[in-house]
Structure 1
Amino acid sequence: MSNVQVEQKIYEMPPREGFSIAHFLTVTDMERSARFYETVFGARVLSRGDSGGAPVYIQIANTWMILNVGGGPTPDKPSVILEVPPNPDRLSSFMNIRVADIQACYELWKSRGAEFITEPKDKYGEIRCYIRDPDGYIIEVGQSKPGVLYG
């Protein structure tokens, strides 16, 4: 197994110019989810949130994530209710992590407590597998095969 190292760069949110993108996840327990992303992926927890409604802000590699509990409509989204998906086997989106060495990541993240649905599998031009987070969201981990071009 090769040594997996994640280079941690500091990115700003909000940016000084242009824009940045963050993925928002509705979670049942902010601290539990923050610990999961911190432990498994080495995320940097920037803010732990609070019971007054402040969310958790984390940075994983070059991605920002915001974690917060669900809730009812608000003045700026009057018909929207945020909730954890009721069926973890029926999702409409997921996070996709691209890695250089999937077997090394699989072994490392599994040793840190990640629950994989299967071991890495060959699929089209890549090798991939999926992790479930504490709320049942899936995270795809994929490694492109040599010579496969995208776009």
Structure 2
Amino acid sequence: MTAFPAEDMEMTRLLVVSDVAVSRQWYEEVLGAHVHSAYESACVLSLLGNWLLLVSGGGPTDDKPTVTMAPPADPDRVSAELIFRVRDCHGAYETLRARGAAFLTPPLDRGYEIRAFFRDPDGHLFEISELVT
């Protein structure tokens, strides 16, 4: 029996985007991701030691016969987000904003953490968060 998880395994986050080239540019310029490989309908990025796979949408396939892959239909209805734990939320906010990130609000101090939210071109939600100690 194979161990799961095992040390030699990796996890990749997949995001469905409407335009792989536009998203690739945003992830490189705004988040500082590095392209590992790129194809017409997909792009594999390296970001903070993790893999991020950007793919164009599509209909069901033999191995997922009831699943349609699509970018978020409504960016205000979220079922997942990516969170960056940062040392300085205000500093990260200014850096990302200068690179083109569109934040929902400036960083808010919630007492135990300072956080701010922004979206990619397709509406996927991101958070920067600083623990207050």
Q: TM-score, normalised by structure 1?
A: 0.81
Alignment of 1:40-59 (within 5 A): 40-50=30-40, 53=41, 55-59=42-46
Confirm whether residue 18 of structure 1 aligns to residue 8 of structure 2.
Answer: yes
Match of 1:77 in 2: 64
Secondary structure of the 1:41 match is coil
1:141 counterpart = 2:131: no
Are residues 107 and 18 of structure 1, via their aligned partners in 2, closer, same or farther at CA, if it must alter by over 3 Å?
same
Whether 2:17 is the aligned partner of 1:30: answer no
Q: 1:62-113: per-residue Cα shift (whole Å, max 9, x none)?
A: 2210000110001111110001111110011111111111111111110000
CA contact (8 A) 1:26 1:83 kept: yes
Q: Could you tell me whether the CA contact under 8 Å between 1:39 and 1:112 is conserved in 2?
A: yes
Distance 2:43 2:32 in 1: 15
Gaps of 5+ in 2: 1-6
Distance 2:44 2:87 in 1: 26
Q: Secondary structure at 1:68's aligned position in 2? A: strand
Candidates 64, 72, 76, aligned match of 1:89: 76
User: Share of identical aligned residues, percent?
Assistant: 39
2:85 alignment counterpart: 98
Q: Structure 2 CA distance, aligned partners of 1:136 and 1:124?
A: 27
Secondary structure of 1:76's partner?
coil
For residues 78 and 23 of structure 2, what CA distance do their matches in structure 1 show? 18
Give CA deviations for 1:13-64 in whole Å, capped at 9, x if unaligned: xxxx6201110000000011111111011110111221xx4x2000111221
78, 94, 111: which is aligned to 1:107? 94
Paired residue total? 127
Higher normalized strand content (fraction of residues):
2
Q: What is aligned with 2:29? A: 39
Q: Distance in 2 between matches of 1:126 and 1:120?
A: 10
